Amino acid sequence: MILDYKNIKLNLEFFSDFKPKNKSILFLHGFTGSSSDWQEIIQKINPRFNTIALDLIGHGKSSSPADIKFYKSNEIINQLLFVTEYLKIEKVILCGYSMGGRAALCFAITHPGKISALILESTSAGIEYEEERKVRIKNDEQLADFIESNSIEEFVNSWLEMDLFGSLKKFPREKLEDYKRTKLKNSKTGLANSLRGFGTGVMPYLGNEIKKLNSAVLLITGKLDTKFTIINSRLVQQFNYAEHQIIEDAGHNVHVENPSKCISAVNEFLMKF
């Protein structure tokens, strides 16, 4: 389903018949991803939930406008609000991976009354210290320039060579090529502007706002992703009601690298609702 938001397209994928009486889970992918990334997970989610996935601005079948304003955190929050209001969802469960998790957290802190629960995979609350933020902004600007100056194939190959995704190399070649192929469908403009508008450095630091949330939160990280496991071991203490599940044999992209364990953790958490 394509929704029109301020003359840009937002693509929604429904993975089950939408039943207004059911609680709804809205899935948000990471940078370079799309709604299709969640397909294997969503198929095994408890069927008493509506399952919907959104292509975030600049990704998948959603628009990739040239105007950077559409990629800013306040606009992404408004886009998520627009989707939930269009679907008449009073309280939503947001499940976000990496960039999608940051978007989910931004929305939850701005509209805590709209949140039933949060599932945040490999997510941070942004960067607290100004000097670190400046370094990250500079690095993301350089990466955005690289995207614009090279082919999408060259960028995706370079992106997946990052240490953060090293554990993906355990995949059979065919599976890794399939994983890459979905990323190649994205727009260079959309990816570059996502970094400039909603990179970890430019998004507001949310750590001081987390105590506003009274909904239950599940944090998921892969044991092989040392960086985000450490980040989330600290982050879990900042929420009022949160738990942190560390998944064996998985790196940053837990739902792709160990889907069965990820699904088990999510379904166990959803039993509370």
Q: What is the CATH number of the domain that holds 44?
A: 3.40.50.1820
Burial class (CB in 10 A: 0-12, 13-18, 19+), 55: buried
pLDDT in tens, 221-247: 999 999 999 999 999 999 999 999 999
pLDDT band at 101 (very low <50, low <70, confident <90, very high): very high
Residue type, position 166, single letter: G
Average pLDDT on 168-188 reads 87
More confident residue, 191 or 179: 191
- What pLDDT score does 273 carry? 86
> b/e map of 101-134 (b: 16 or more CB within 10 Å)?
bbbbbbbbbbeeebbbbbbbbbbbbbbeeeeebe
Give the CA count within 13 Å in the CB-facing half-sphere of 213.
29
Question: Which residues are within 8 A (CB) of 91 and not within 5 positions of it... i.e. 6 or more apart?
Answer: 23, 113, 114, 115, 116
Segment 251-259 shows an average pLDDT of 93
Domain that holds residue 57: 2-270
pLDDT of residue 160 exceeding 90, the answer is no
Instruction: Give the rounded percent of residues in the chain with a pLDDT score beyond 90.
Output: 85
Please tell me the distance from the alpha carbon of residue 84 to that of residue 93, in angstroms, as a whole number: 11
Q: Are the beta carbons of 45 and 267 closer than 8 angstroms? A: yes
Q: Phi and psi dihedrals of 247, rounded to 5?
A: -95, 125
> What is the mean predicted confidence (pLDDT) over 87-106?
97
CA distance 36 to 160: 18
Domain count, the chain: 1
Instruction: Please state whether 104 falls in left (phi above 0), alpha (psi between -120 and 50) or beta.
Output: alpha
Q: For 101-143, give the DSSP string.
A: HHHHHHHHHH-GGGEEEEEEES------SHHHHHHHHHHHHHH
Q: What is the mean pLDDT of residues 24-49?
A: 94
Burial class (CB in 10 A: 0-12, 13-18, 19+), 171: middle
How many Cβ atoms are within 10 Å of 59's Cβ, its own excluded? 29
pLDDT at residue number 51 = 96
Single-letter amino acid, residue 223: K
Question: How far, in whole angstroms, is CA 154 from its chain's centroid?
Answer: 23
On whether the CB atoms of residues 69 and 42 are closer than 8 A, the answer is: no
**pLDDT score of 12:** 96
Q: What is the per-residue pLDDT for 104?
A: 98
Exposure of 66 in the CB half-sphere (CA atoms within 13 A): 1
